[in-house]
Structure 1
Amino acid sequence: MKTQIGIKSENRQAVAEILCKLLADEFVLYTKTRNAHWNIEGLDFHSMHIFFEGQYQQLADLMDGVAERIRTIGHYAPGTLKEFLELTHLSEATNQKNDSASFITELLADHDAIIDFIRGSIDEVQEKYKDAGTSDYITGFIETHEKMAWMLRAHLK
């Protein structure tokens, strides 16, 4: 059945493309956070292992929500590693030590990049593509990523 939610088809397509990039970014960040959880070493191993677990669980919920929003506006969400790597703004490669400072520094940069991407997309989704629902939805992501980034940043002080 055709999606009839009061947004032009071409606008829903454009918004879906933005959301697919966001989903790819969330997936790559999720994977990098899982990597930190699995491979952390050092005197703070136990506390950081638990900390990274909490972060990747939050990211899993965000990913699921983005994929569902893409479906809500009548499109299919990307679901392969190849698609995610083609769509993401983030770098998959990590050349670092397995200590908390190295992992945190990289993850923090990725959260900041996602925040910038979302901020740059909010008005476009609202004004250009007339999708207030998605604009409002992704605005909430800024707060989540800002809080997660704050938690990471606090470890580096």
Structure 2
Amino acid sequence: MEPKIGITAENLKAVAHALNHILADEFVLYAKTRNAHWNVEGPDFHSKHLFFESQYEQLDEIMDSVAERIRSLGHYAPATLKSFLELTHLSEVLHEKNDGTGFVTELLNDHESIIMKLREQVNYFANELKDAGTSDFVTGLMETHEKMAWMLRAHLR
């Protein structure tokens, strides 16, 4: 049954499509953060291992909320690795060293890239697709990524 929430079916489809891309970005960032947690090496191993764990736990919650937002709008969330890799704008390839600083730099770049994408979409959802709820939701995601990026950036100072 289609949701009757004051947004046209066409706009709901467009919102879900855009959210699919966000979910894919979140999943790829989650996988990269898990990789950092599992594979970090160096004298700061223990602290970085715990730090990356806290970050991937936040990303897990974000992924769940994005998928649930897609479902609440009457669409299905992508849920395969293949679909995530097709939908994401991030690269799953690491470009930095396999140490704390390398992982922090890589993950910070990805968070900042996601922040810029989300910022571009806030007004798109509200003004073009007439979905203030998703606009507000995406603003919240952006703010969460800004805080996570700040935490990463603090490790590089």
TM-score, length of structure 1 as denominator length = 0.98
Map 1:56-135 to 2 at 5 A.
Answer: 56-135=56-135
Counterpart CA distance in 2 for 1:78 and 1:127 is 25
Q: Secondary structure at the match of 1:156?
A: coil
Contact 2:96 2:105 in 1 (8 A): no
Q: Secondary structure at the match of 2:5?
A: coil
Name the % identity. Answer: 64
Counterpart CA distance in 1 for 2:31 and 2:127 is 33
TM-score, length of structure 2 as denominator length = 0.98
* 1:9 equivalenced with 2:9 (yes/no): yes
> Once structures 1 and 2 are overlaid, which stretch shifts more, 92-101 or 54-63?
92-101
Q: Which amino acid aligns with 1:3?
A: P
Instruction: Give the equivalent residue in structure 2 for 1:19.
Output: 19
Aligned length: 157
Question: Which 5+ residue runs of structure 1 have no aligned equivalent?
Answer: none
TM-superposed CA distance for 1:5, in Å, is 1.1
Counterpart CA distance in 2 for 1:148 and 1:125 is 23
Counterpart CA distance in 1 for 2:97 and 2:106 is 11
Contact 2:19 2:66 in 1 (8 A): yes
Root-mean-square deviation (CA, aligned residues, Å) is 0.7
Contact 2:112 2:149 in 1 (8 A): yes
Distance 1:44 1:112, change over 3 A: same
Q: Which amino acid aligns with 1:88?
A: T
